[in-house]
Each structure stands twice: as C-alpha cells, then as structure tokens.
Amino acid sequence: MQPFVQQMIEKKIKNLSSSELLNYAQQYQINLTRTQANEIVTFLRSTDLNPLEQADRVKLLKKLAQITDLKTAQQAQQLFNQIIKQYGVESWFN
C-alpha cells in the first residue's frame, strides 16, 4: 500500500472521536454505547497495532470483543470486509 494512504488511515484512527464512532455505529446498525465508544477510542489512541496487518487486526477485533461483545466484533469484521471489497482495496490489507 502507498505509505501516504497508510498514514491517512492511521491518522484517522488516532483522531477518531467517540461521537464519530457512535455515528458510524448507528449508520451501519451496530449496537454501541457511549461508554463502549469511549473505551474503544481510548484504546485506539493508545495502541500501536496496525489495522492494515492481518495479525494486528485480529488483536484489534479481540479487544473490541472484550470491550463490547463477540457479536459486535463480528459485525465490525463483516463491515470491514464489505467496505474493502466495495472499494476494491483488498490488496492493501495483508
């Protein structure tokens, strides 16, 4: 993947607000409380895991399941897969 695009993705994740996350959850019909959104955003800001790497995505999804529940983590994974296929960027993610 282009380093520029990777930096943009990482910056967006690090600057994501809990309000934005709640809006995305509502838009994609994923149940999320404000407390959960706050915990997720705090975690994302504090981690060095790279969501572009498969092993790190697995760790991120496990943490998401701890903060929320398994169903929510699975919904997030399905949404992620749909979005990268929709935009034809599967090859960007290892």
pLDDT at residue 88 tops 90? no
CB of 54 within 8 A of CB of 94?
yes
Q: What is the pTM of this model?
A: 0.84
Mean pLDDT of 55-66: 94
pLDDT at residue 50 tops 90? no
CB of 78 within 8 A of CB of 47?
no
pLDDT at residue 94 tops 80? no
Q: What is the pLDDT of residue 92?
A: 79
Q: How big, in percent rounded to 5, are the helix, strand and coil portions of the chain? A: 75, 0, 25
Q: What is the pLDDT of residue 21?
A: 93
Environment class of residue 8 by beta-carbon count within 10 Å: exposed (0-12), middle (13-18) or buried (19+)? exposed
